[in-house]
Chain A
Amino acid sequence: MSTAESTTSPNPGLWDRIGTVFTVRPLTVGLALFWVWVLARWTTDFVLAGVSGFDRGTPFIPAAPFLTTADAVASLATPLGAAGAPLVWVADTLRFTADATAYLPALAHGIWTTILLTVFSVCLGFTLALPLSVVRVYGGRWARWLALSYTELIRGTPLLAQLFVLYFATSLTQVLRGVPGVGVGFVPAQAFWVAVISFTLNSAAYQSEYLRASLESVDGGQLTAARAIGLSKLEGIRYVVVPQGLRLALPSWTNELVYLIKYSSLASFITVQELYGRTSTIANETYQYTELFVLVAILYLALVVSASALMDRVESHAATAGVGHTRQ
């Protein structure tokens, strides 16, 4: 008689919901256009510009049509007086669009840096997080205590403070500047790497918490069974517990990825010209704060929504019957 209670996935499915909120077509089309533009921009500026006669950063979209339309709309608005306010707004938006055509190549470059920061930090963070979490669950008393102290200290302090410690208070920058290749050609300069190190250390702490929870939720009988077929404890962890735990932890990576996409904007405080940094540089020159920051908010949303859509794909691909995220 009574209907079964809806079961919730281990993660409350925050980003699943984006799917349900925005399954509408316009968003899919918008995202597709966004990525076509981004990829075209990168190809022209990073690959073709060096090879043939392409100019780096030349706008794809001409500004002139927007300006003429803006003038036409504005001239319609003038005789209307106060009633023409909506038209004035349209004209202003069109004028900003004309300006934006010149900013967009720089923003595409910023998106590249933001993605690099995020991907490097998540991946490097994972390589630290996995041993940390295994130590948290299976380690001896002292090892466990050390791992716990690390995660609690990182999670208990602001990312920005950690960034400042590494950037202003250590000689990491000078050390990195001395590393051959840093800042040469495609390799970003030292501030970028300070940010990567800082985000990696931070992300490792958060990821190890997700992993720990997942490892702990793998049934204890699994390790016992692994030992029973003659695997060592480490082998049992490696071949039986971790593969299951990783699948269980997948939904948390969506959160971690989204977190880093947004919080990588803090790298702008240490001069890294990622998406936010570039926007803020342009805004300080042009004073078009509202328009530019609304534009960059939309770009961040596009990145965040893309990341969660991508992770949804990964999750359904990685799900095996009974283990991990199964869709309701």
Chain B
Amino acid sequence: MTQPLLSIDDLHKSYGSEEVLEGVGLEMDQGDVTVLIGPSGSGKSTLLRCVNRLTEINSGRIALDGQDVTGAETDVNELRKQVGMVFQDFNLFAHLTALENVTLGPKKVLGMDAADAEAAGRNHLEQVGLLEQADSYPAELSGGQKQRVGIARALAMDPELLLFDEPTSALDPELVGEVVEVMRDLADEGITMLVVSHEMDFARSAASDIVFLDDGEIVEHGPPEQLFQNPTADRTEQFLSRLHAHEETA
């Protein structure tokens, strides 16, 4: 077996006395698309944020390509060049155009010259179908467009792993589709993605693995067919039935 791209081992994280992650372990290979599901407060987003160290862990081990992520001597900025992130609230840089949002990282962090960064940036905007909005400011874009710029911004750093933190939950229902479509394209291209999302459509059609997280622990982990059709744990089943009920009413 080759070494996994991402391996998480016995991860613990608590805020004050509240333990959010209680010994989580997870592995991802190159090209995997892993979707994290679970009730709110189960620690999904925290787990995601530990991977690029927006949140610091208490104990455990995270390795990317065999390199220790959480060590004191690890350069977080080197790490984040390899791990892109897409946020729930987009967090587009409000004072920059779509294209400038995409090129800021390559220019300032990777030291790319402006023309190259721009050419690459246009490609990434095209990839998410927004080349025509290159010169628009975030306030002039719809939610779905903002999130697609957010994805292009993360892609522009050419990361090995992309993290998605509930990328569609701040969107109006009719705008979810365009973002899911972009994400599915990325999955098809073989980009490794760790996604926190309850977008069942995406989970069923694009995920290689589903991880069900509850109360800071991984309750169940498996391919989508198995986990959705024949969940082994009661908790998983309960959660899925609530989710389906919610999807039908929505």
Contacts and interface: CB of A to CB of B under 8 A. Distances in A.
Interface string A1-24: 110000000000000000000000
A160 to B, nearest CB: 40
Contacts of B46: 1
Contacts of A1: 45-46, 88
B237 interface: no
Nearest to B87: A2
B62 to A, nearest CB: 20
Main SS of chain A's interface residues?
A: loop
Bin the interface of chain B by size: under 10
Nearest to B40: A1
Contacts, number: 5
Interface string B42-60: 0001100000000000000
Contacts of B88: 1-2
A1 to B, nearest CB: 5
A124 to B, nearest CB: 45
A5 to B, nearest CB: 11
Nearest to A1: B45
Interface in B3-57: 45-46
Contacts of A2: 88-89
A-B pairs with lowest CB-CB distance, top 5: A1-B45, A2-B89, A1-B88, A2-B88, A1-B46
A101 to B, nearest CB: 54
Interface in B70-98: 88-89
Nearest to A2: B89
A2 B166 CA distance: 12
A2 B46 CA distance: 11
A56 to B, nearest CB: 62
A1 B20 CA distance: 12
A4 to B, nearest CB: 12
A247 B45 CA distance: 42
A164 to B, nearest CB: 45
Interface in B122-161: none
A1 B165 CA distance: 11
Interface in A1-59: 1-2
A291 B46 CA distance: 58
A2 B87 CA distance: 11
Interface string B85-129: 000110000000000000000000000000000000000000000
A1 B41 CA distance: 8
Contacts of B89: 2
A2 B89 CA distance: 10
A327 B46 CA distance: 31
